[in-house]
Copies of this chain bind each other. A is one copy, B any other.
Amino acid sequence: MRADWIIREQGFDRERIAKNGNKFMIGNGYMGYRGTLEEFTREELTAVTLAGLYDRVGDKWREPVNAPNGLYTVIEYEGVPLGVLSPGASIVEHEQELDISRAVHRRRTVFAVGDGPGAPRVTVWAERFCSAERLSLIAAKVSVRSSADGELVIRTGIDGEVWDINGPHLEGLAGSESEGSLLLSGVTRELKVPVAVAETAVPDYDGPAAWEQTPAAVADQAVATDSLCREIRLTCRAGETYTFYKYAAVVTGLDGAGDASEAALRLSRDAAGCGYEELLQEHAAKWAEKWRRADVVIEGDAEAQLALRYSLYHLLIVAPGHSEKLSIPARGLSGQVYKGAVFWDTEMFMLPFFLYTQPAAARNLMMYRVHTLEGARRKAAEYGYEGAFYAWESQETGDDACTLFNVNDVFTGRPMRTYFRDKQIHISADVACGIWQYYEFTGDGSILLEGGAEAMWECARFFYSYAYFNPAKQRYELLDVTGPDEYHERVNNNAFTNAMVKRTLRVALAALEFLQAHDPDQYDSLIKRGAAILPEHIADMHDRLYVPQPDGESRVIEQFDRYFTLEDVSLPELKSRVLHTNEYWGGGNGLATTTQILKQADVVLMLHLFKDQYDLETKRANWEYYEPRTEHGSSLSSCIYALVAADIGSSEWAYPYFMRTATIDLTGESKQYVGDLYIGGTHPAANGGAWMAAVLGFAGLRFDGEIVSIAPSLPPKWEAVEFPLILRGKSFKVRVTLKAVTVEAAESNDDALPFRIGNKHTVLAPGQKLKVEL
């Protein structure tokens, strides 16, 4: 364990419970386990959030299901419960840490039981991980030692009282015990999906203090219960450490593992049979491999190094490595905030990291969109459009989980109509371009044949049906949309949106051509299905779609039609008009709505995505124009300002934005409320943005599907940055210093790949190493 891979906090602060739940969370893509303590329950936001399993209670929002907590444990010493919130025990020492090299969580607390200096000290240690090898498994090691002899009662089992925003989601919860293993299972309310948690606890000590287990009120018979614990009584001796292990397995009806309860019991017992240390070892091996593919080494800036690694950690614990029906929710697996929904965050801010380093995970992310195509078709039809209008907030079916009233007005308490769901049409472009990008990065055309081309084509058809032709100006336009800057809803010709849609039309035609060549039958049936909108229509729209261009004088691109006519107020001035801390700045009457103040990068995001289409002067002019007008009310904003600043060679402008995005989940200082809505949790998009800022920004990496280019602009104190790449199935290692770029192609590569480094063009054959002085 290396110290620079450890996140640690000393001392206990009640105020930080919710934040630390995010900060210290672990996960494995199948589930996330919040960084809560063993004795915590619902009130402290304990949650085992399951990826891809959603439920609805009554008419409340659908949201992910949190499984019962198989690690729940409270230890009593001489009748006094040892918990950081227990009144009878005082905290002498407390620390909580996360080993991000292996995704292992630890806590250690020293309690004083009773008053005075002579009061016995009891130390509790606990360690846990969500196995990267066995995705259903959470394993824990718990130890206790007292400074004086005494009676211990360990109450441990499965707690069904977990955090729920709109729950509880499991009905018919029943517990049972057999052969020392506990089982708690129920079914989701809406779709009746079984969810089972089995737990096996195993002692690891000898001596007189025997393991005396008393399951409370359960036997082989299933008994209705919310929680299920056994009590273990033992007499401890001063100075001796008593350890036990817990093997909790979570299985749902979606896992395809047969009967969920049986499978959970089997997995729990198998794990117990294997033993904690071996499980940890296989887990750690997986993590070593993850880091080998993903780690970015920064030399000369320890603070940036830790923040960036911590960001990558968060991407790695939520990446769906095992299923192409999952993507990554906006708050990862840190709970139910934002309905556990997948947003454009994935394609725009996380996908690049996976595309450059883990193509298999990238494929899963994009296949998720293919699998949710029907939901997108339903949404388009609901609004009277053709094709696929992807959900703004997507769950397992692709139907839009986004409501029409998203924020409450803090002044009247009334729900406020917002247009996230209706008008952020760019989501379909983000998806279509994401699929094509996956194909370009990997050369893996199977995604196109397995539904990717169809999804892209449906997005193009959607845009054609959404678009209008301006007869006076003889051009297509995109009206009544909301771009990334959500403070300005329902605008016309948002530059970002129009540019993305134009790209979508182009790549959809290319995908269609691919399909025609490789699967003519599928091509024919696609064309037949949407006969009213044919490739020639899409091509015409592509050629005549209006995309706002830089002003001839100022080079500034107008964010949308008539944006420049809005009040040009300064951000401090606008802030001085705020009447209520949590008031929403957008919507019908929002403070920013009638001004030029934007929520987040919008034109500047376009300059990043279309960086080869704009000259340096244009990028600089727009960065300088929009940057002081940006509130950064979204965590997606900073990384984009960092990227474009690096692109124009201003790494000193970029660096603070990079640090802001890279530390967002370390400091936990992001926006926690919009209106009266809690939006806390982790920020995988900002984490992905940190990777982008470091690698695509400072190191200046770019792959356009054919050529890898590297044009670095390192922050002054960075001596070097080093990272791995996988492009079109070929592996490379890149090292960028202030003076040179070195690229090393793996021996095992099947072919060469062209590179452009600075002004030097070259083709890197397998095993070749190239160093270019800057």
Binding site for B on A (CB under 8 A): 383-384, 386, 404-405, 409, 411-412, 414, 416-417, 464-465, 467-472, 476-477, 479-480, 490, 492, 532-533, 537, 541, 561-562, 577, 579, 587-590, 593-594
Would A472 and B386 be within 8 Å (CB), given that A480-B480, A593-B417 are in contact? yes
Whether B472 contacts A533 by the Cβ 8 Å rule is yes
Whether A414 contacts B589 by the Cβ 8 Å rule is yes
Docked CA distance A590–B414 (Å): 10
CB distance from A720 to the nearest CB of B (A): 52
Whether A469 contacts B472 by the Cβ 8 Å rule is no
Contacts of A577 in B (CB 8 A): 414
Whether B537 contacts A471 by the Cβ 8 Å rule is yes
Q: Nearest chain-B residue to A416 (Cβ)?
A: B589
Contacts of A404 in B (CB 8 A): 594
CB distance from A116 to the nearest CB of B (A): 57
Contacts of A386 in B (CB 8 A): 472
Docked CA distance A467–B593 (Å): 25
Would A468 and B469 be within 8 Å (CB), given that A414-B589, A589-B414 are in contact? yes
Whether B464 contacts A468 by the Cβ 8 Å rule is no
Whether A468 contacts B465 by the Cβ 8 Å rule is no
Whether A472 contacts B465 by the Cβ 8 Å rule is yes
Contacts of A465 in B (CB 8 A): 472
Contacts of A470 in B (CB 8 A): 468-469
- In the assembled complex, 10 residue pairs joining A and B whose CB atoms fall closer than 8 Å, in A order, are A409-B589, A411-B412, A412-B579, A417-B588, A468-B471, A468-B477, A471-B537, A480-B480, A587-B588, A588-B589
CB distance from A565 to the nearest CB of B (A): 9
Whether B479 contacts A471 by the Cβ 8 Å rule is no
Contacts of A492 in B (CB 8 A): 480
Docked CA distance A477–B404 (Å): 25
CB distance from A400 to the nearest CB of B (A): 14
Docked CA distance A532–B473 (Å): 10
Docked CA distance A594–B593 (Å): 19
Docked CA distance A476–B480 (Å): 16
Docked CA distance A590–B405 (Å): 13
Contacts of A472 in B (CB 8 A): 386, 464-465, 532-533
Whether A469 contacts B467 by the Cβ 8 Å rule is no
Contacts of A593 in B (CB 8 A): 417, 588
Q: Nearest chain-B residue to A467 (Cβ)?
A: B471
Whether B471 contacts A471 by the Cβ 8 Å rule is no
Docked CA distance A589–B476 (Å): 31
CB distance from A329 to the nearest CB of B (A): 28
Whether A464 contacts B469 by the Cβ 8 Å rule is no
Docked CA distance A8–B464 (Å): 66
Whether A479 contacts B468 by the Cβ 8 Å rule is yes
Docked CA distance A588–B490 (Å): 12
CB distance from A541 to the nearest CB of B (A): 7
Whether A471 contacts B541 by the Cβ 8 Å rule is yes
Contacts of A412 in B (CB 8 A): 411, 579, 589
Docked CA distance A290–B605 (Å): 68
Contacts of A590 in B (CB 8 A): 588
Contacts of A477 in B (CB 8 A): 468
Q: Nearest chain-B residue to A589 (Cβ)?
A: B588
Docked CA distance A468–B465 (Å): 13
Docked CA distance A593–B419 (Å): 13
Docked CA distance A469–B384 (Å): 16
Q: Nearest chain-B residue to A385 (Cβ)?
A: B472
Contacts of A480 in B (CB 8 A): 479-480, 492
Contacts of A588 in B (CB 8 A): 417, 587-590, 593
Contacts of A416 in B (CB 8 A): 589
Docked CA distance A587–B492 (Å): 19
- Of A405, A464, A588, most B-chain CB atoms within 10 Å: A588
Whether A417 contacts B587 by the Cβ 8 Å rule is no
Whether A417 contacts B479 by the Cβ 8 Å rule is no
Docked CA distance A249–B580 (Å): 56
Q: Could you say which of B479, B533, B537 contacts A479, with CB atoms under 8 Å apart? A: B479
Docked CA distance A323–B417 (Å): 48
Q: Nearest chain-B residue to A461 (Cβ)?
A: B472
Q: Nearest chain-B residue to A541 (Cβ)?
A: B471
Contacts of A411 in B (CB 8 A): 411-412
Docked CA distance A469–B469 (Å): 5
Contacts of A562 in B (CB 8 A): 383
Contacts of A469 in B (CB 8 A): 468-471
Q: Nearest chain-B residue to A382 (Cβ)?
A: B565
Docked CA distance A475–B83 (Å): 70
Q: Nearest chain-B residue to A417 (Cβ)?
A: B594
- Of A411, A464, A476, A590, most B-chain CB atoms within 10 Å: A411
Q: Could you say which of B414, B541, B589 contacts A587, with CB atoms under 8 Å apart? A: B589
CB distance from A327 to the nearest CB of B (A): 29
Docked CA distance A532–B593 (Å): 35
CB distance from A502 to the nearest CB of B (A): 16
Q: Could you say which of B383, B467, B532, B589 contacts A417, with CB atoms under 8 Å apart? A: B589
Q: Nearest chain-B residue to A490 (Cβ)?
A: B490
CB distance from A595 to the nearest CB of B (A): 10
Docked CA distance A515–B472 (Å): 24
Docked CA distance A569–B467 (Å): 32
Docked CA distance A616–B217 (Å): 75
Contacts of A594 in B (CB 8 A): 404-405, 417
Contacts of A409 in B (CB 8 A): 589
Docked CA distance A587–B480 (Å): 17
Docked CA distance A478–B464 (Å): 18
Q: Nearest chain-B residue to A413 (Cβ)?
A: B579
Contacts of A414 in B (CB 8 A): 577, 589
CB distance from A178 to the nearest CB of B (A): 53
Contacts of A533 in B (CB 8 A): 472
Nearest 8 interchain pairs by C-beta: A588-B588, A468-B468, A465-B472, A469-B469, A411-B411, A588-B589, A417-B594, A589-B589
Contacts of A532 in B (CB 8 A): 472
CB distance from A82 to the nearest CB of B (A): 50
Docked CA distance A655–B584 (Å): 47
Seed contacts A469-B471, A589-B589; 7 additional CB < 8 Å A-B pairs: A404-B594, A412-B589, A464-B471, A471-B537, A472-B533, A479-B479, A480-B492
Q: Nearest chain-B residue to A492 (Cβ)?
A: B480
Docked CA distance A593–B490 (Å): 15
CB distance from A423 to the nearest CB of B (A): 12
Docked CA distance A476–B471 (Å): 9
Contacts of A417 in B (CB 8 A): 588-589, 593-594
CB distance from A145 to the nearest CB of B (A): 59
Docked CA distance A467–B412 (Å): 37
Docked CA distance A533–B470 (Å): 13
CB distance from A404 to the nearest CB of B (A): 8
CB distance from A584 to the nearest CB of B (A): 10
CB distance from A476 to the nearest CB of B (A): 8
CB distance from A42 to the nearest CB of B (A): 34
Contacts of A537 in B (CB 8 A): 471
Docked CA distance A725–B472 (Å): 43
